[in-house]
Structures are given as C-alpha cells and as structure tokens.
C-alpha cells in the first residue's frame, strides 16, 4: 500500500503503510503556519517526534539547501525516519513509503555480547523539516507580493514561524 495524501484545512496527513501507520499517527505531523497575514505567506513543515521522550528531547531544525529545495528530501533521503522503497524499475502509481530505523530521532549502538548482537536504541531529537524560502516544497504565498523572496524576508519568516510553532 502506498502513501495516501489527504487534505484537511491546514493539515496535510500522510497515511503510511499499514505496518508503520501507528508510528506515523503517533510521531509525525505536517501543517501550514501563516507567517505574513497581509501577503498570505504560509510555510509548510513536517514534524517528527523523538521516539523516546519528545517533551524533554531537543528540537533540531532542518532546512534543505538550494535554496528553494523542499525539506521532504531531508525527511525521506537524509536524516528522517521515512524513505521511499527502492525499486529497480518504476511501475507507475505512488511510491511506497517505509520506516527507516537509522534516523536522527534515534541512534544505534551495537554491542557484541557472547556472540549475540544487542541493539541498544538511544533516541536523539525531535526534528522539524521546514519548506523555506517561500515557494520551496509546499510553502506558498497567495499574493504576488508574498511570493517575492530575499534572505532578509526568509529570516524574518522563519523567526515568526519558530515563535508560532513554539506556542
């Protein structure tokens, strides 16, 4: 079963494969945050909770390079807990999303004990992946003025974004 994308006001929910659906519902969310009301600028983010103690564990902010690249690459190809299942040949349809245990929401330490490998999991952090600057990924502006981007505007928008998310 592939990913199903479902829109519900400001929430974009991704329903994962049945085997990791519970993990998705419990540890993952994505939303829009309005960072400029007059120009209707909305930044999109993916939030992945630490799998240990999200209320205590630190928060890591991930901005993909480019600039202008969606942070979904960080979520699915770099440090996030999801990845697209690799297939030799494309057969059509949506890609399959699978859980990737080697993620920054946890770290692994392998210890050899009497020929048996013990995998001890130590969770690392919560991660917030932001599509920034405006126009990257799912982030958008409803006006032409809002879609004009600069380093200064991007920093201001991220500052407002972080303050709103922290509330």
The domain in which residue 98 lies consists of 4-32+44-138
State the Cα–Cα distance between residues 46 and 162, nearest whole angstrom.
Answer: 13
The answer to whether the peptide bond before residue 133 is cis (omega within 30 degrees of 0) is: yes
Do 136 and 66 touch, CB atoms closer than 8 A? Answer: yes
The answer to whether position 159 is within a domain reads no
Per-residue model confidence (pLDDT) at position 166: 86
* Res 113: pLDDT: 45
For residue 40, what are its two tokens? 């209707």
Question: For residue range 24-82, what is the model confidence (pLDDT) as tens digits?
Answer: 455 677 889 999 999 999 999 988 888 777 888 888 898 987 777 888 888 877 877 77
**Beta-carbon-side half-sphere exposure of residue 125 (alpha carbons within 13 Å):** 11
Give the residue from 59, 53, 54, 51 showing the smallest Cα distance to 22.
51
Give per-residue pLDDT as tens, 68-117: 788 888 887 787 777 777 777 777 777 777 777 777 666 554 444 444 44
Task: Answer yes or no: is 38 within a domain.
Answer: no
Count structural domains, the chain: 1
């Amino acid at each position: 079963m592939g990913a199903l994308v479902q829109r519900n006001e400001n929430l974009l929910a991704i329903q994962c494969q049945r085997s990791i659906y519970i993990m998705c519902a419990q540890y993952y969310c994505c939303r829009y945050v309005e960072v400029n009301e007059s120009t209707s600028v909305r930044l999109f983010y993916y939030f992945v909770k630490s799998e240990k103690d999200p209320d205590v564990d630190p928060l890591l902010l991930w901005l993909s390079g480019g600039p202008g690249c969606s942070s979904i690459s960080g979520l699915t190809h770099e440090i996030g807990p999801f990845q697209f299942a690799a297939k030799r040949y494309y057969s059509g349809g949506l890609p399959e999303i699978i859980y990737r245990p080697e993620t920054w929401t946890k770290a692994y330490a392998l210890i050899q004990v009497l020929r048996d490998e013990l995998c001890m999991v130590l969770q690392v952090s919560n991660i917030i992946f932001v599509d920034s600057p405006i126009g990257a990924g799912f982030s958008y502006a409803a006006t032409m003025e809002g879609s004009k981007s600069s380093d200064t505007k991007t920093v201001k928008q991220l500052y407002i974004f972080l303050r709103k998310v922290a509330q």
